[in-house]
Amino acid sequence: MSDDAPRFAVDAMLGRLARWLRVLGYDTAYDAGMDDPQLVQLARDEDRLLLTRDRHLLRELKPARAHEVRQDHPLRQLKELVAALRLAPPPALFTRCMLDNAPLEPVERAGVLPLLPEGVREHPGPVWRCPMCQRLYWDGSHVRRMRRALEAALPGWLAPD
């Protein structure tokens, strides 16, 4: 992800979009417990583009930088953003934790082998760990499923696997 890639602050109604943006490696702040003024403040303090479906928020709180999301379905919302902001496809998927936005770190496979599901242990491949929540990520069926969903929603956008 390049240094000038946009960074986002996502409102509480767009949690699934936030996860997709993290899967793509975009730095995405999302906290369902935050109220609207806190979210607008966070976006301003951290120079993030606010993504919201809430017209009331846009009208009343006038965030400096915002995009009003119009689509209902998370992958259509992502497609809307890719077009509106001309988002570049990421060099790789799953470089950031879906749950807390932390960049993932590679780990020695041998050291985490007992923590991997049985079916995954037998297949070689890199493993990453989230330094915040310690969750492990590997290139398995879950990743392939999400990649297929992205390819279906955004044909030709992602680099081939």
Question: For binding to Zn ion (CB under 5 A), which residues are involved?
Answer: 97, 99-100, 130, 132-133, 135
Tell me whether residue 16 or residue 135 sits nearer to Zn ion (CB atom).
Answer: 135
Q: C-beta of 121: minimal distance to Zn ion in Å?
A: 22
Q: C-beta of 102: minimal distance to Zn ion in Å?
A: 5
Tell me whether residue 23 or residue 130 sits nearer to Zn ion (CB atom).
Answer: 130
Q: C-beta of 136: minimal distance to Zn ion in Å?
A: 10
Q: Strand pairing of 8-10 and 28-30?
A: parallel
| Residue 76 C-beta-side C-alpha neighbours within 13 Å | 5
Exposed, middle or buried by CB within 10 Å (0-12, 13-18, 19+), for 9?
buried
Tell me whether residue 92 or residue 133 sits nearer to Zn ion (CB atom).
Answer: 133
Cα separation of 15 and 63, whole Å?
19
Contact 119/49 with Cβ under 8 angstroms? no
User: What tokens appear for 80 in the block?
Assistant: 């809307």
Tell me whether residue 31 or residue 100 sits nearer to Zn ion (CB atom).
Answer: 100
Q: C-beta of 28: minimal distance to Zn ion in Å?
A: 13
